[in-house]
Structure 1
Amino acid sequence: MSVMASFGNSPANLSGMIDPAIFEYLKAHGEEEILVGDKLHNITTALNRHISTCQGLLSHIHSTASSNFPSLLKNVEETGIQPEIEGVGELAQFSSQFPYYKYNHRWSRSIQNVVATILLTAWLGGMGSEARPGELGRLLTIEEVGEILKVPVNVKDRDTFHITIEEYLLALTDITDELSRLAMNSVTMGDVSLTLHISKFIKDLFAGFQLLNLKNDIVRKRVDAVKYHVKKVEDVIYDLALRNLLPATNA
């Protein structure tokens, strides 16, 4: 039995010691929260389906030569990220009618995943990069991510949907995990230069993380885990060095 059902529908049965309007108020607002929760569930469920599609498309980078990334990323943007953008737009429009910090826990992980797919796609040379098609290493700022999703970021002066710095940082830790995996798979495909490029980026990113004064326990733990991604790639490069497979300038 739901909490609302346990109140019943007959406040007239209450004794004169309690104002029936109190429970009428609670009932009305409780039902509103249920309706809002159901709507948010439907929106985030649809968004998560788009995220899964996008992540599935991006997973092909592990079996695709970097020279073929441009065509792969074009498909990712059109059939993966564009639906994500639309889903985030619907979420932003609906959720901004209600207190942000009352409901943001319902979508924070989904937004983190969306941001991660955008960051990874851009790093691999997509998302309208001004660099040459297929050129690697572009790290989008949180503001650039907000522009792509058409939503505000790090809002402090009003109660509205936005992307938080925490969500952006957590997304960065997600892509270091994915890139460390790509570093190993690129060796299998004979693309040692990609592995070296990933190694430099992850090291630089981890060095940047060390400059931050992290208060959030979850973010701090996830950032600490990045050092293992760094080590994973370093181990790959060390093995390549032992086998004399590194380019002369990196040997």
Structure 2
Amino acid sequence: MTTSTPNIDPSIFTTLQTKIDEESAIRDSLRAIIDDLSKQSRVITSHLSRIHNTPTPLLPDQILSPCAALLQQQSLTVQALASTASAYPFYKYNSLWSHQIQSILSTLQLHEWLSSTRLLTLEDLGTFLNVPVNVKPPEKDTFHITIEEYLLALTSTIEELARLAPNAVTMGDYARPLQISRFIKDVHAGFQLLNLKNDNLRRRSDGVKYSVKKVEDVVYDLSLRGLVPKDGDEGGAAAGGAASG
């Protein structure tokens, strides 16, 4: 005995396909801007990576000033992304650009630290990029930088500074590892205050302690060799950070 099956209205699937096409078009428009951000980030990262073989006194002219101009240009692309993305549900599409935003924030943090040894706040970064931060309802669909993106970016900055510490020593800068050590210890202490729910962020923040240990080993080796600068002899980093530009 056969059981009759009710007819299905084909328009149901036609409507679904229309919605799929609409979402695909939105993603394509966002990816076009994100691809531009990615290209800009590769150029900036390549340029900034030269800090590991450039003597500290030469950083302002050879690395920081050129990078500052590139970062200013990239901020305009971020604003273009914000303008387009704000028309759509934020958390539906946020995964498309979150990694790129983290990379940009980390680069800005590193550039600022090399310029002034200062930690940029979430609000500082939002001001430099001219985009909202940590938006709450009812404006939650507005493009913004999240706290998680800020903290994940900061862990990447710490890793890069930990890498710089031994490289600075090989270029004869014995003060830089002490500056880095104090900074990342302060950041690590700050992370200890946080009760993090995001598993990835918690793992990344736990990794900061390994960066602390890595730089401590560099400082300890300098102290054994009698190369630790006396108080007041460390010298300051060049003035004029990215966010203040």
Q: Tell whether the structures are fold-level matches, with TM greater than 0.5.
A: yes
Report what 2:73 is aligned to. Answer: 83
Q: Which whole-Å deviations, capped at 9, do the CAs of 1:3-57 have from their partners, x for residues lacking one?
A: xxxxxxxxxxxx9833343223212111001111222222211110101111111
| 1:209-224 superposed matches below 5 A | 209-224=191-206
Q: Which amino acid in structure 1 is aligned with residue 219 of structure 2?
A: I
The answer on 1:119 being equivalent to 2:101 is: no
Q: Give, in whole Å, the separation in 2 of the partners of 1:147 and 1:206.
A: 25
| 1:132-171 superposed matches below 5 A | 136-157=116-137, 158=139, 159-171=141-153
Report what 2:91 is aligned to. Answer: 101
Unaligned ranges ≥5, structure 2:
233-245
Report what 2:242 is aligned to. Answer: none
| Greater relative contact order (CA < 8 Å, ≥ 6 in sequence) | 2
Match of 2:165 among 183, 192, 200: 183
The answer on 1:54 being equivalent to 2:44 is: yes
Report what 2:236 is aligned to. Answer: none
Report what 1:32 is aligned to. Answer: 22
Cα deviation, residue 64, structure 1: 1.8
Q: Which whole-Å deviations, capped at 9, do the CAs of 1:192-225 have from their partners, x for residues lacking one?
A: 1111000100111101100011111111000011
The answer on 1:244 being equivalent to 2:230 is: no
The answer on 1:74 being equivalent to 2:70 is: no
Query: In percent, how many aligned pairs have the same letter?
Result: 51
How many pairs were matched up?
A: 225
Cα deviation, residue 175, structure 1: 0.5
Cα deviation, residue 248, structure 1: 4.0
Report what 1:225 is aligned to. Answer: 207
Q: Give, in whole Å, the separation in 2 of the partners of 1:248 and 1:38.
A: 56
State which drifts further: 93-102 or 241-250. Answer: 241-250
Q: Which whole-Å deviations, capped at 9, do the CAs of 1:34-89 have from their partners, x for residues lacking one?
A: 111222222211110101111111111112222222222110011x2123212211
Cα deviation, residue 249, structure 1: 4.5
SS in 1 for 2:135: coil
Give the TM-score of the pair, scaled to structure 2: 0.88
SS in 1 for 2:194: coil
SS in 1 for 2:207: helix
Q: Give, in whole Å, the separation in 2 of the partners of 1:207 and 1:99.
A: 35
Unaligned ranges ≥5, structure 1:
1-14, 126-135
Give the TM-score of the pair, scaled to structure 1: 0.85
Q: Give, in whole Å, the separation in 1 of the partners of 2:79 and 2:148.
A: 20
